[in-house]
Structure 1
Amino acid sequence: MSQDKIVGIDILLEFLEVAFNHILFFRKIYPEEIFVKRKIYGITVYVSEHPELNEYLSNVLNSVKELIKEDENSVKTINLTFYNGNKLAIEKFVFDIVKLQAEFTEKDPYYLKTEEALKTICLKLSMCNTYLKPLPDGSTFSVEIQTNETAHIILSENPKCEDFPWIIEDDAVEMTNKNLLPLKDIKTDCLNLQMYVIEDTANKT
């Protein structure tokens, strides 16, 4: 794997960690007190200090890293999905990894364009309460990885992921009243990513 792709993975994983924390803070399913302010991409973001939540997110990111290292095309989308008290999906932040490295784009040797795009996404995430309905009390969340059939085998046989079993979800219930809200497309020579939110307003009440 080339050095550029290794850097691309590191940038992606750092962004996912920031975005997950930022979304969880602004969607208010945890007390604000478990988050602290940090500075990244030149802006203030919110980062969890809760050990169990941090361990879960760390295991998710480690699994994403191991999958991409094994096959860079194995991860299609990463979804941060919220559920209501009836376990119905009501909101989904989708990180669509079109390609780890975009082609036919203006070069970004110092990752300035990439950082500016990630900054824009974080700023839009910090305003998500203005364009999404509030989550109902008792909401929960999970992170889902849409991948290929061999990925589960790869993870189950990888000693770095053996303590964090993933569940195959073949019969996931899809949202029925979907609104799609595009957030940002990133297309630089180290990252090609689309991000959007899908919301089911009917089941939020």
Structure 2
Amino acid sequence: MLILTLLLLLLLLLITGYAANSILYNRAVYPEESFVKVKKYGLPMLLIEDESVKSFLSNLTSQIAEWLEAGKLQRVVLVIMSKATGEVLERWNFRIETDNEVVEKGVSREKSDKEIMREIQAIMRQVASSITYLPCLDEACVFDVLAYTDADVAVPFTWIESDPKLIANPQMVKLHAFDTKIHKVDTLVSYKNDEWDEEE
């Protein structure tokens, strides 16, 4: 099960670690000086230094790890909202498909570190480049993370049930899929569509 553990760790770091930090930085949810630059997977990445956010993401990662390892996690959604109104401005939706044969029967699925590295690099580049498609967030924002699980999972008391925080008539950008051969992740960014008023 070592390969499952390593792939699980990579997947978690990607979704709740580096991708989340990249989104929070690139969407200016926190000021630039709140981040420190590190090099991971052959790419420069930014990690937030705010202790409360680091603690939140760390707790999130450990809980999601349990659900993911049991094959009970369906998707993780990072939501960016207006701080003033609570209106949802963006949803970064990571949909996860788990190979149940691996989880339930321990069937081996192999993929080289080099292949996985290439895919991580591709999706991190896409997260950064997709920012160019998105409208500027010109107001103070906050973020939250939603986890969609199977109905039979035990939910810790620190988690609360939430509405899906959907956006009415959103614009969407689909990112490159990430596949560890145990988990497949499809990423879709939805954002608020501010239509221009063309009636003059």
Relative distance call for 1:150 and 1:107 in structure 2 (3 A) is closer
Instruction: Write the letter of the residue equivalent to 2:56.
Output: Y
Mapping of 1:121-160 within 5 angstroms? 121-151=123-153, 154-156=154-156
Other-structure match for 1:83: 81
Mapping of 1:1-205 within 5 angstroms? 2-16=1-15, 17-69=17-69, 71-72=70-71, 74-84=72-82, 85-99=84-98, 107-108=110-111, 110-151=112-153, 154-156=154-156, 165-169=158-162, 171-202=163-194
Q: SS of the residue aligned with 1:92? A: strand
Q: SS of the residue aligned with 1:202? A: coil
Instruction: Write the letter of the residue equivalent to 2:32.
Output: E
2:96 and 2:123 map into 1 onto residues whose CA distance is: 15
1:187: how far off? 2.7
Relative distance call for 1:122 and 1:80 in structure 2 (3 A) is same
Structure-1-length-normalised TM-score: 0.83
1:149: how far off? 2.3
Q: Do the aligned partners of 1:21 and 1:46 also contact (CA within 8 Å) in 2?
A: yes
Q: SS of the residue aligned with 2:60? A: helix
2:138 and 2:144 map into 1 onto residues whose CA distance is: 16
Structure with bigger RCO (C-alpha 8 Å, 6+ apart): 1
Relative distance call for 1:172 and 1:122 in structure 2 (3 A) is closer
Instruction: Write the letter of the residue equivalent to 1:44.
Output: P
Q: SS of the residue aligned with 2:140? A: coil
Q: Which runs of 4+ in 1 moved over 3 A?
A: 100-103
Q: How many residues align?
A: 187
Question: Unmatched 5+ residue regions in structure 1?
Answer: 157-161
1:173 and 1:41 map into 2 onto residues whose CA distance is: 32
Question: Unmatched 5+ residue regions in structure 2?
Answer: 103-108, 196-200
Question: Alpha carbon RMSD of aligned pairs, Å?
Answer: 2.2
Q: Deviations over 1:160-181 (max 9, x none)?
A: xx6xx11112x44421121121
1:100: how far off? 5.6
Q: Percent same amino acid among aligned pairs?
A: 22
Instruction: Write the letter of the residue equivalent to 1:177.
Output: N
1:188: how far off? 3.8
1:50 and 1:131 map into 2 onto residues whose CA distance is: 28
Instruction: Write the letter of the residue equivalent to 1:166.
Output: W
1:148: how far off? 2.2
Q: Do the aligned partners of 1:5 and 1:101 also contact (CA within 8 Å) in 2?
A: no
1:188 and 1:56 map into 2 onto residues whose CA distance is: 26
Q: Do the aligned partners of 1:8 and 1:101 also contact (CA within 8 Å) in 2?
A: no
Relative distance call for 1:173 and 1:40 in structure 2 (3 A) is closer
